[in-house]
């Protein structure tokens, strides 16, 4: 496995290239600075640095049977493609985010700029040169096909719910005491706090709940990103005692935190291309057996509504969000029913073992067909 170092423990970030083993997997880590606080130019430079080092690591590592590259960023396609061609091995590319169109629609990159045109060319080349393309949602499949990709090699395998790590259970007593959640209905958002997440709308919903006198409802936001200082300013400016900002939470502590919430949010900005996404937080919520409020009119809306596992609100509509939170807070039987349905859906359709088996079968098929 060739990866970056930004999310690895400090011990693995002291060398330009670190080599170590995790669960029998040889990991090659390229030291590269990356942060959600970076501006667009710094992010592009970070992606380019990683692309160069990862290419060298990929072509000098032990010869593989198949090359599997997963985005984002889209530039990971370059080391994947080069390694597959130099080693004469099949190549599978996984699309986790609709890039560069997401950057175009959010104003981070101009489609007419040199970088924008190059990124669009790389995207199309990647889809067409791969032996198979994995997309994480039906909308993302359509997105890939719209670029002229052969439908026969596009496969939909969504994110997985870790039903062993995330599971129903009582609230964590230590977290309840730490954040003053005793006797409160807790609404949780976990993940990045960046422009694509529109967390300022969640803060505005907390303000509306405060104005309505709903002191029994607490909104808990766990995560970090370049927009976090803005949310902290709103909390201070509006005096939102009902908005708790925890900062980043280690992955191993996330199940207890999610379990401490009564309602969970999968929240995105009002950007059409983002509606094709497959957010991890959705699957964590399903596995934990909690009702989830989604604001994407893409594939997650019918998924949640048809299985009665949560509710939908219009994107960036703080009033609708506050209304939905109130309704669920005041209806414990509905929360229990939706939570049971959510867990059932996670186990039946999205368990990690199920999705892993599908990916393994695809990789084996591609390898066999090339042989």
Q: What percent of the chain has pLDDT over 90?
A: 60
pLDDT band at 38 (very low <50, low <70, confident <90, very high): low
Check pLDDT > 90 for residue 51: no
Per-residue pLDDT, averaged over 331-349, amounts to 96
Query: Do 2-160+352-370 and 173-349 come out as alike in CATH topology?
Result: yes
The per-residue pLDDT for 371 is 64
In three-state secondary structure terms, 23 is coil
- pLDDT exceeds cutoff 80 at 240: yes
pLDDT at 12 (0 to 100): 65
pLDDT at position 145 is 92
Contact predicate 134/155, CB 8 Å? yes
Tell me how far apart the alpha carbons of residues 119 and 47 are, in angstroms, rounded to a whole number. Answer: 12
Contact by Cβ (8 Å): 148, 124: yes
Q: Is the dihedral of CA 86, 360, 12, 222 positive or negative?
A: positive
Does the domain made of 173-349 have the CATH classification 3.30.1280.10?
A: no
Please report which confidence band the pLDDT of residue 175 belongs to, taking 50, 70 and 90 as the band edges. very high
Q: Say which DSSP state 161 is in.
A: B
Give dist(CA 203, CA 264) in Å, integer.
14
Contact 131, 366 (CB under 8 A): yes
Bridge partners (DSSP) listed for residue 95: 135
Mean pLDDT of the chain, nearest integer: 89
249-276 mean pLDDT: 91
Task: Give Cα separations from 101 to 47, 98, 266 (angstroms).
Answer: 17, 6, 21
Residues 314 and 331: their CA atoms lie apart, in Å, by: 21
Instruction: Measure the CA–CA gap between 167 and 51, rounded to whole angstroms.
Output: 37
Q: Which of 249-258, 277-286, 311-320 has the highest mean pLDDT?
A: 311-320
Given a cut of 80, is residue 155 above it in pLDDT?
Answer: yes
Question: Cα–Cα distance between 312 and 142 in angstroms, integer?
Answer: 22
Give the confidence band of 303 by pLDDT, cuts at 50, 70, 90. very high
> What tokens were used for 101?
């169109």
User: Six-digit token pair at 36?
Assistant: 């959600």
Query: Does the structure show a pLDDT above 90 at 26?
Result: no
Distance of CA 284 to the CA centre of its chain: 10
User: What is the tens place of the pLDDT at every residue in 5-24?
Assistant: 766 666 666 777 878 888 88
Which of 45-49, 126-130, 319-323 comes out lowest in average pLDDT?
45-49
| Entry pTM | 0.87
Domain ranges of the chain: 2-160+352-370, 173-349
Q: Is the pLDDT of residue 199 over 70?
A: yes
Alpha carbons within 13 A on the beta-carbon side of 40:
12
Q: What is the pLDDT of residue 35?
A: 64
Structure tokens at 103: 């950057």
Q: Is the pLDDT of residue 264 over 90?
A: yes
Contact at 8 Å (CB) between 185 and 218? yes
Q: What would you report as the CA-atom Rg of the chain, rounded to the nearest whole angstrom?
A: 21
Instruction: Please compute the mean of the pLDDT values over residues 283-288 and round it to a whole number.
Output: 94
Which contacts of 37-45 are long-range, i.e. CB under 8 A and separated by 24 or more positions? 37/225, 37/226, 38/226, 40/103, 40/108, 40/109, 44/115
Question: Is the per-residue pLDDT at 173 higher than 70?
Answer: yes
Options 3.40.50.2000, 3.60.21.10, 2.30.30.700, 3.40.50.720; CATH for 2-160+352-370 is: 3.40.50.2000
Three-state DSSP state, 174: helix
Over residues 277-304, mean pLDDT: 92
Alpha-carbon span 204 to 317, nearest angstrom: 9
Q: What is the pLDDT of residue 37?
A: 66
Q: Are strands 132-135 and 91-95 parallel, antiparallel or unpaired?
A: parallel
The helix (run of H) or strand (run of E) holding residue 45 is helix 40-60
């Amino acid at each position: 496995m060739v990866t970056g170092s930004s999310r690895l423990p400090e011990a693995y970030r002291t060398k330009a290239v670190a080599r170590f083993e995790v669960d029998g997997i040889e990991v090659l880590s390229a030291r590269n600075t990356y942060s959600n606080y970076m501006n667009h130019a710094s992010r592009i430079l970070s992606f380019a640095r990683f692309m160069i080092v990862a290419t060298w690591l990929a072509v000098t590592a032990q010869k593989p049977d198949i090359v599997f590259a997963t985005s984002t960023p889209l530039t990971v396609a370059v080391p994947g493609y080069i390694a597959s061609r130099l080693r004469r091995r099949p190549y599978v590319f996984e699309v986790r985010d609709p890039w560069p169109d997401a950057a175009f629609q959010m104003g981070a990159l101009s489609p007419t700029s040199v970088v924008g045109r190059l990124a669009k060319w790389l995207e199309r080349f990647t889809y067409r040169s791969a032996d198979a393309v994995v997309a994480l949602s039906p909308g993302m499949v359509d997105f890939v096909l719209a670029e002229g990709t052969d439908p026969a090699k596009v496969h939909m395998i969504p994110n997985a719910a870790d039903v062993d790590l995330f599971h129903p259970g009582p609230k964590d007593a230590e977290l309840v005491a730490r954040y003053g959640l005793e006797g409160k209905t807790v609404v949780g958002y976990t993940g990045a706090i960046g422009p694509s997440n529109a967390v300022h709308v969640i803060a505005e919903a907390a303000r509306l709940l405060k104005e309505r006198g709903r002191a029994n409802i607490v909104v808990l936001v766990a995560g970090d990103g370049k927009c976090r200082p803005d949310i902290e300013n709103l909390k201070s400016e509006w005096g939102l005692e009902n908005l708790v900002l925890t900062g980043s939470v280690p992955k191993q502590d996330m199940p207890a935190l999610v379990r401490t919430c009564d309602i969970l949010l999968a929240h995105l900005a009002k950007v059409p291309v983002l509606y094709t996404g497959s957010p991890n937080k959705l699957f964590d919520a399903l596995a934990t057996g909690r009702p989830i409020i989604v604001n994407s009119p893409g594939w997650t809306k019918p998924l949640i509504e048809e299985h009665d596992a949560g509710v939908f609100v219009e994107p960036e509509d703080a009033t609708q969000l506050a209304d939905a939170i109130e309704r669920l807070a005041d209806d414990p039987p509905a929360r229990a029913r939706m939570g049971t349905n959510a867990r059932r859906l996670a186990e039946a359709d999205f368990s990690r073992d199920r999705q892993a088996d599908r990916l393994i079968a695809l990789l084996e098929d591609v390898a066999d067909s090339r042989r």
